[in-house]
Structures are given as C-alpha cells and as structure tokens.
Amino acid sequence: MTSQNRMTKIPQKVMRYLPLKPRLQQLYMSTHTATIMRWHKEKRVDDDVMRHPADGEAWKEFDRTFPEFDVDPRNVRFGLATDGFNPYGVEHKGLYGCPVYKEDVTSGWHAEKVCYLAHRRWLPWDHE
C-alpha cells in the first residue's frame, strides 16, 4: 500500500480530561480567587431572593442532607452543563415544559434544539 492510497483513521470524538485536583489547588492559592470560591458561605445574603445556585432549594437540601460537607466553606459543588444533550431521547411528542401541567405546555424545534417558547404565559404568576 503506497502513501497515496493509505486510509488514515480520523477520530470521530475526542475526550479531554482536565485533572480537577490541581485546578482546585490553583484556585485556592490566590487570595482573590480563594475569597470568591468561599463567597457562597461567607458573603452571600440570604433574603429569599434567587441570585445564585446557593439560594436554590437543591443546594439547601444538599446542605441539610450532608451537614458535615456544609461546615467547610472550601468544599466545592459542581454542576453539569449538557448543552444540547437530551438524556430522555429525542422523541418530540413526549417532551413537556412543565412536570405539573405536562401537555398544556408544549415544545417545538428551533435551531436543532427543543424549545419552550412562551411556556409561562398561561401559568399562575407564583408557579415554580
């Protein structure tokens, strides 16, 4: 086989691994970023207004479930962003915008993503 007709394998997907521990150590080495990393525990105003994930019920429930984790302000919580990934499959007719009102809030396709346009229009103003 000559170099002109040789088939080269090209990877279809690339998995990048970023070591987490050294990155967190770097963030805590600087006094400026270390202060920002502890902000959720030391500087946050708790006035029942949702401004940060720490104000959310999921964060508070985690703190109640694992009080030993909540004690140290250096403990870090991670969120997972899944831009465009649908863990429930791509079935159009089964996607709803609200777990309470289900079929009353429908979805549509826009820019290859499922969108819920004007999905709060018919909901009560205090609906979660």
> Model pTM?
0.48
> In this prediction, what percent of the chain has a pLDDT beyond 70?
63
Convert the chain into a string of H (helix), E (strand) and C (coil): CCCCCCCCCCCCCCCCCCCHHHHHHHHHHCHHHHHHHCHHHHCCCCCCCCCCHHHCHHHHHHHHHCHHHHHCCCCCCCCCCCCCCCCCCCCHHHCCCCCCCHHHCCCEEECCEEECCCCCCCCCCCCC
pLDDT, tens digit, 9 for 90 and up, residues 12-25: 777 777 788 999 99
pLDDT band at residue 38 using 50, 70 and 90 as cut-offs: very high
Of the ranges 93-102, 103-112, 119-128, which is most confident? 119-128
